[in-house]
Amino acid sequence: MDIIEIIENNRIQATKDVEISKQKLYEQYFTPSDIANYMSNLFSNFEKENISILDAGAGVGNLGAICSLKYLNSGKNSFVSLTSIEWDKNLLEYLKGNIQEIQNKYINFHASIYNEDFYFIAQKLLTEGISFDRIIINPPYSLISKTNNEQLEILKKLDVSTPNTYSNFIELCYRLLSDKGELVAIVPRSFCNGTRFTKFRKKMLKNVKIEFIHLFESRKEVFKEYGVFQEVVIIKLTKKKIKKTKICISDKLNDNCCEKFNFDQITFKNDPYSFIHIPSKTDDLEIVNKISKLSSSLNELGLSISTGKVVEYREEYLTEEDYIENARILYQRHVRSDEIDLSVYNPSKPFLKQNEITKKKMIPKGNYIIIKRMSYKENKKRINTGILKKEHFDRTHMTVENHLNYIHKDSCGLDENLIYGLNAYLNLEIVDKYVRRFSGHTQINASDICSLPMPNIEVLKKVGEKIMNKKNNDYSIEELFFNK
């Protein structure tokens, strides 16, 4: 049995031994050997005599071990120094065992193991000016603990304020890279968009280059034995000067489906959120070229998008009483095939009592675009909308449930021709493809819509008027927006 087989058997045994509840609590899953090998092979060759490797949040140590073997077996007789950091003492036996397998065979290998919190060790390493040539990580995916004051204090001192543990690891690790160092990480795709990660993205893009992204087509393939259904990417960051980013979208662990893109096709200078796009192929350039030429945005149109303010499970003023002063509640089940259908069976309480507390949760009679927040990449469409018309109001106000977003103007409705034009634009196939480039979430956030380039208001109203009057028969809707 070779070393990699032994390492993989240790991972499988550790997975059985560690309680599933504990794995889910910290959202840490041990990387299978085929993925670990693929990640290690993303690193470039190293010409110097000594190479330093860091495996932060090492778990059972398989990532660091397999990465070390890549260089030990390269035939260059390099001295490989591996630093593994893992806080969970229950994993130390597996971690030490995997490292020992390598030490038994290679005399040009040295390993240091720290049974410590990575934040604490990172602070120490950064203070001492220690850096690494290669860093490989599969960090915990959990949210930041608000109760661990020691961790919070360290992160504050290091000026790290990302919303998730995995993004903290990425930021600290790229700061620990040597001048031409490389970082390979397997993490959720969620950092690519959303306002919560804006500061993280801006800092990362300022300090390192994205050399490679591998997006798995299925959310179920990567850690399927753990029941993990997040959309996951493998990303390679580097401090070297490079000209393009390689993108691979496949469930297969090879680069046969990869294409290279310029940086300005991955992130756009005029995007205030610095979203990271993952184009699927070079013909995506047509999509980018078309949409990037649009001159407006939701904000520049004088419009806003808000999330419904009624949270069903904690709203105390829900009622079944059909009094005219109570507001009818719009639920996500009412949005069906681009239409609003209030006749759909609804087991929830249909009304919200009107009082001084609930008045601010209501919208006045008018025309609004309603957008479902929940949206999966496997869905036929990522943006699912419906037009809420004045005619849907059987009273002066309605209210919107929290699983929906709605577009409005100063908390009121929009002109009818504008609402039809904007809704048609949001439902274009080209817009759907554009959104899929950056959105890996299971929902469409308000910031996703805010970041979309938009046609100007005159074009939207003109198209909306044609749709209302059914005068667009000679053209596709897309042609009305892009052929001037």
Question: Do residues 308 and 264 both lie within one domain?
Answer: no
pLDDT tens digits, one per residue of 316-338: 999 999 999 999 999 999 998 77
Looking at every residue in the chain, the average pLDDT score rounds to 87
In a domain, 289, yes or no: no
Question: Do residues 214 and 352 both lie within one domain?
Answer: no
Question: Do residues 318 and 465 both lie within one domain?
Answer: yes
CATH number at residue 436: 3.90.220
In a domain, 94, yes or no: yes
In a domain, 411, yes or no: yes
pLDDT tens digits, one per residue of 165-191: 999 999 999 999 999 999 999 998 889
CA separation, residue 105 to residues 65, 72, 101, 108 (Å): 13, 10, 7, 9
Question: Do residues 311 and 259 both lie within one domain?
Answer: no
Percent above pLDDT 70 for the chain? 90
In a domain, 297, yes or no: no
Q: Which of 282, 313, 334 is the last residue before a domain boundary?
A: 282
pLDDT bucket at 223, cuts 50 / 70 / 90: low
In a domain, 106, yes or no: yes
Question: Do residues 264 and 393 both lie within one domain?
Answer: no
For residues 166 and 139, give the distance between their C-alpha atoms in angstroms, rounded to a whole number: 5
pLDDT tens digits, one per residue of 387-421: 999 999 999 999 999 999 999 999 999 999 999 99
pLDDT in the model for residue 24: 44
pLDDT bucket at 374, cuts 50 / 70 / 90: confident
pLDDT tens digits, one per residue of 351-371: 999 999 999 999 999 999 999
Question: Do residues 374 and 251 both lie within one domain?
Answer: no
Q: Which of 219, 247, 282 is the last residue before a domain boundary?
A: 282
pLDDT in the model for residue 282: 60
pLDDT tens digits, one per residue of 272-323: 889 898 887 665 777 877 887 888 899 999 999 999 999 999 999 999 999 9
pLDDT in the model for residue 2: 81
* Amino acid residing at 423: N
pLDDT in the model for residue 16: 67
Q: Is residue 82's pLDDT more than 50?
A: yes
Q: Which of 282, 312, 344 is the last residue before a domain boundary?
A: 282
Question: Do residues 256 and 319 both lie within one domain?
Answer: no
- 270 versus 105: the higher-pLDDT residue is 105
> What is the number of structural domains in the chain?
2
User: Region 22-36: what's the mean pLDDT?
Assistant: 68
Residues with Cβ within 8 Å of residue 337, at least 6 apart in sequence: none
pLDDT in the model for residue 283: 58
pLDDT in the model for residue 106: 92
pLDDT tens digits, one per residue of 437-465: 777 556 788 888 988 889 999 999 999 99
pLDDT bucket at 25, cuts 50 / 70 / 90: very low
pLDDT in the model for residue 19: 56
pLDDT bucket at 115, cuts 50 / 70 / 90: very high
> Which of 32, 382, 46 lies closest to 240, judged by CA?
46
Q: Is residue 481's pLDDT more than 80?
A: yes
Question: Do residues 231 and 357 both lie within one domain?
Answer: no
pLDDT in the model for residue 227: 52
pLDDT in the model for residue 23: 46
Percent above pLDDT 90 for the chain? 56
CATH number at residue 19: 3.40.50.150
* SS3 label, residue 188: strand
In a domain, 292, yes or no: no
Question: Do residues 215 and 247 both lie within one domain?
Answer: yes
In a domain, 90, yes or no: yes
Question: Do residues 272 and 320 both lie within one domain?
Answer: no
Q: Which helix (H) or strand (E) holds 181?
A: strand 177-188
Question: Do residues 356 and 407 both lie within one domain?
Answer: yes
Q: Rounded to 5 degrees, what are φ and ψ at 61?
A: 85, 10
Question: Do residues 88 and 131 both lie within one domain?
Answer: yes
In a domain, 299, yes or no: no
CA separation, residue 29 to residues 57, 102, 375, 466 (Å): 11, 23, 25, 53
Q: Which domain holds residue 109?
A: 3-282
